[in-house]
Amino acid sequence: MGALTKRATVYFDPALHRALQHKALETSRSLSDIVNDAVLGALMEDAEDLAAFEERVNEPLVSYEAVLKELKANGRL
């Protein structure tokens, strides 16, 4: 952890906390490092999703009903 870290209190389900402790021991990492990596990964996925939405912003919208009609017309429903 660097000098610019912040402290926060996070409450885990007891079974999840136990699993995180075991993973920390097995990987010689701190629980904080594991949680930071997981949160960073989730935020990166969100950023990728937002970028994908932005790339497709000009595509036409297709309604749920239209998709069902197409599936039925193609014999898939």
- Rounded (5°) CA angle 26-29-31: 100
> Binning pLDDT at 50, 70 and 90, where does residue 2 land?
low
Tokens 């995180």 sit at which residue?
20
Distance CA 21, CA 32 (A): 10
The predicted-structure confidence for 26-54, as pLDDT tens digits, reads as follows 999 999 999 999 999 999 999 999 999 99
pTM greater than 0.75 (yes/no)? no
Q: Which amino acid is at 50?
A: L
Average pLDDT over residues 51-63: 94
pLDDT (0 to 100) of residue 22? 98
